[in-house]
Amino acid sequence: MIRMHVYISGYVQGVCFRAATRHTAAELNLTGWVRNMEDGRVEALFEGDDADVQKAVKWCKTGPPAARVEKVAVFEEHPSGAFADFSIKRF
């Protein structure tokens, strides 16, 4: 199990990025959360199988069709196992 904290920059709010991220995470059986940030970025935290978390991070580099991702910053953290599912958080 691994945990990746991801910050996505670009045209990523108002394009269903959070909903698409939740859908992608559910398909990959990941836990964690995604949220919009006040500065216009999207922040996500993925926990799960190494290969599946890597797939989610790779997906974030493109996002949903209406998004224009400019930069993705990824930070590996220690997994906590604290999440039961993958949710959308509010600021």
Cβ atoms of 61 and 9 within 8 Å: the answer is: no
Catalytic choice (3, 22, 36, 41): 36
Domain 2-82 bears CATH identifier 3.30.70.100: yes
- How does pLDDT run across 12-70, given as a tens digit for each residue? 999 999 999 999 999 999 999 999 999 999 999 999 999 999 999 999 999 999 999 99
What pLDDT sits at residue 66?
96
Give me the residue spans of the domains in the chain.
Answer: 2-82
Query: Environment class of residue 29 by beta-carbon count within 10 Å: exposed (0-12), middle (13-18) or buried (19+)?
Result: exposed
36 annotated active-site: yes
Catalytic choice (18, 29, 41, 90): 18
What pLDDT sits at residue 79?
95
